Amino acid sequence: MHLTFLGTGAGAPSLQRNVTAIALTLSKRGDTWLFDCGEATQHQFMRSALKPSKLEKIFITHLHGDHIFGLPGLLTSRSMAGLLEPMTIYGPKGIKQFVETALSLSGSYTGFPLEIVEIEAGEVLDDGAFRVIAYPMNHVVECYGYRIEQHDKPGFLDAPRLKAEGVPRGPWYQDLKEGKRIRLEDGREINGAAYLGPATRGKVVAIFGDTGPTEVALELAADADVMVHETTLEAAMAEKANGRGHSTTIQAAEVAKLAGAKRMIATHFSSRYLSSDRERLLAECQSVFAATELARDFAVFEI
């Protein structure tokens, strides 16, 4: 699994960075989920190693333009490319109207199955491999953060032990790998769970939407392997940041520390900050939470 930052800017694109879009690649096959889709996200896709054909789902945190204006272009270009794989968009109430109106008024359409799900706080989906939960953020419009939980992976099946105990190989091995009970032709009942090694803990990724300080943040990021949090402004500008539903470097780092996250990746930087400001912003974060990194456009982080 890895995260690719296609845009790390807040509000409007700049010469330093594009607006928000984060791709989470789930497997070696390249299956990808996109979190937010700011203007020109499809251009960023083309400049990255990501493949539009592998894009399965898009999760929108809120309906501000710097998080959704790239959606119509991405969808229609994907259709014009002849890609037929279905896609689902999740987002707050109004996302369906936005997408359908943009497509309708522009005479556009999608040649692939498109489902739009308007969400509320709580579980968004569970596909058997991953569970996604939406948490309400502290912003000036309805906004969500997403917690992506990978299900634990069952331990390896002890095939040599099964062989030693006279359990023949067969299609029932798959059931045993899943910890199920089977009954052999000789009448013996075998409990697969007794032949499995320790389970491997699934990864947890917390991706915040725009937000000022909120107690919900600690639940969203609890024990996360990676926490992605906005740091729109520096610590000295806390009043301005919070008044607009945003966080500072220090405030984001405090969330990571208190939630017990293993790593924090800071993003969503105001256009006032240039590349020369990165070290200063990073230092502010690391003064509270040492395991902090700053995202930049096209940066890739392994999870």
Return the closest-CA partner of residue 36 out of 80, 56, 73, 6. 6
Instruction: Give the strands of the sheet with 130-136, arranged side by side.
Output: 122-126, 130-136, 144-150, 204-207, 226-230, 264-267, 292-294
**Residue 268 known to bind ligand:** yes
Tell me if 64 is assigned to a ligand binding site: yes
User: Cα–Cα distance between 43 and 50 in angstroms, integer?
Assistant: 11
Q: Is 175 a catalytic residue?
A: no
223 is in an annotated binding site: no
Query: Rounded to an integer, what distance in angstroms lies between the CA atom of residue 228 and that of residue 293?
Result: 10
- Dihedral in degrees, nearest 10, Cα atoms 60, 65, 71, 74: -130
62 is in an annotated binding site: yes
- The residue from 36, 66, 126, 225 that is catalytic is 66
Most distant CA pair in the chain: distance in Å? Answer: 74
Q: Is 139 annotated as a binding residue?
A: yes
Residues annotated in the binding site for Zn(2+), as ranges? Answer: 62, 64, 66-67, 139, 210, 268
Active site residues: 66
Binding residues: 62, 64, 66-67, 139, 210, 268
